[in-house]
Amino acid sequence: MRIAIVVAAALAAAGIAGIAATEAAAQGAGDPKAGATIFNKCKACHALGPGAANKIGPELNGIIGEQPGAVEGYQFSKPFMDWAASQGPWTAETMRPWLENPRAVVKGTKMAFPGLKNPAEIDNLIAHLLTFDEAGNPTAPAN
């Protein structure tokens, strides 16, 4: 009897830990500091942070939560805009496949980037993107 209770309690605890881990992954619980380093791969084309302007690609302040293809003053490709028309705002979930392989998400996109193959790098990068709001201000005290 007592053993059964202990086993049940252990299973319940494992279950809760499992759910917490899944939630953390779903929220893209990456490391924003590590993500800042990975963002170096994006910098040739994208700016982020205070005063970020459009370059070869659109500025990315507050991009998660924004409608794809909505950056003011930036000319997106037609394939991207056609795809964007069927999309809701960017989420960590929709950002993941885009960063893994942009051309697989939008055939004909002009984002000439092969993609990041390491899921941890993508999580870290997403965490970094989330550290700036729409106006380019830090969303949290410097980390």
Interacting residues toward ligand HEC by CB under 6 A: 41-42, 44-46, 56-58, 60, 63, 68-69, 71, 76-77, 80, 99, 109-113, 116, 125
In DSSP notation, 39-101 reads: GGGTTTT---STT---SSS---TT-TTSPTT--TT----HHHHHHHTT--S--HHHHHHHHH-
Distance of closest approach, residue 25 Cβ to ligand HEC, in angstroms:
19
Distance of closest approach, residue 87 Cβ to ligand HEC, in angstroms:
9
Residue 132: strand pairing partners: 138
Compare residues 4 and 81 and give the one whose CB is closer to ligand HEC: 81
Compare residues 63 and 127 and give the one whose CB is closer to ligand HEC: 63
Cβ atoms < 10 Å from Cβ of 130: 21
Compare residues 28 and 57 and give the one whose CB is closer to ligand HEC: 57
DSSP 3-state percent helix, strand, coil across the chain (nearest 5): 45, 0, 50
Distance of closest approach, residue 140 Cβ to ligand HEC, in angstroms:
19
